[in-house]
Structure 1
């Protein structure tokens, strides 16, 4: 089986389209990341200015301690939110790459299967065993590849669940610490 010039051109065209598509997805991910960081920086600057004003207007140490303690919970929630948004951007971009990779792998698998079928039809008599062994090896490689894909997807799911659990736990612990600090500040009055 020989490849024609049209088949080669079509293959190169499809590969270029995939490359440019993935490049665009990468830039979209970077744009989202920049937007997230600009928004977070702007919010942090505004909050720092407001907090500085509040600190300067504190009348005594207890009021200052209560003000400081009241900042723990919102800060922890913002950090957790930022982490979730960052994870969403990264996982979305990674998902695009995974889909493209899976599509390319499926195309390669179809081409290999077609090549093997053509080779089996045109093989000389007595080589059926060799062709069957080759087909079996390709099938085993495909099964191994699918197993690895499933394992990676499961690991991604576990990582996402762990991240959500850690964010929730950190938020609860910060709320507890903030409540304790507020109570301690109010107890000193």
Structure 2
């Protein structure tokens, strides 16, 4: 008679421990991602500062307006490529973090569901006669919740893939006109110098 409350108490304790483990794991992954983001921003800022210094020296050393505009035009493509590279790296960090979060959450949900089903099976063994309908209803509810989660997880993965695909398409779409504009500006500067 006292076994059922003890089983629920043990199940609750195990559930809280697994939730704490999940929280700790997600916190660690968040800090790792933030560290990657900070490193990316620092390296990007450092490279940008170095590039700006070099371009400024070149601009200050220009002997005539054509050379000045030539240097300016020559920076369009490297600047665009740098921005695209930053965007790709940022998207990569976000995507990998999202995937790690999903993986951790999936593992937690699978384990929690296994424990709940095990608890329901154990409790149903000691359940009074006539409660089979209620036990079946609980198992059905758990099964439906699992199916809903699986559908949500599948939809989320599809959304992440669509975002990645759209980002790659946008990057490709932007880089072609940037190259064309750079080539046109370089050709115009060369023609003006001649």
TM normalised by structure 1 equals 0.88
- 1:89-120 per-residue CA deviation (whole Å, 9 max, x = no partner) reads 22222222222211111122112211222243
Q: Distance in 1 between matches of 2:130 and 2:9?
A: 33
* Candidates 78, 99, 114, aligned match of 2:118: 114
2:79 counterpart of 1:81:
no
Name whichever of 150-159 and 29-38 sits farther off.
Answer: 29-38
Unmatched tracts of structure 1, length 5 or more: none
Q: Which residue of 2 aligns with 1:52?
A: 56
Name whichever of 40-49 and 22-31 sits farther off.
Answer: 22-31
Q: Which residue of 1 aligns with 2:23?
A: 19
Name whichever of 1-10 and 55-64 sits farther off.
Answer: 1-10
SS of equivalent residue, structure 1 residue 188: helix
Q: Confirm or deny: 8 A CA contact 2:76 2:182 kept in the other structure.
A: yes
How many residue pairs match? The answer is 189
SS of equivalent residue, structure 1 residue 126: coil
2:173 counterpart of 1:169:
yes
Name whichever of 117-126 and 135-144 sits farther off.
Answer: 117-126
Unmatched tracts of structure 2, length 5 or more: none
TM normalised by structure 2 equals 0.86
Question: Using a 3 Å threshold, how does the CA distance of structure 1 residues 104 and 160 change in structure 2: closer, same or farther?
Answer: same
Name the Cα RMSD after superposition.
Answer: 2.1
Name whichever of 164-173 and 110-119 sits farther off.
Answer: 110-119
Q: Confirm or deny: 8 A CA contact 2:18 2:108 kept in the other structure.
A: no
Q: Distance in 2 between matches of 1:160 and 1:65?
A: 36
* Candidates 73, 78, 95, aligned match of 2:99: 95
SS of equivalent residue, structure 1 residue 177: helix
Q: Which residue of 2 aligns with 1:40?
A: 44
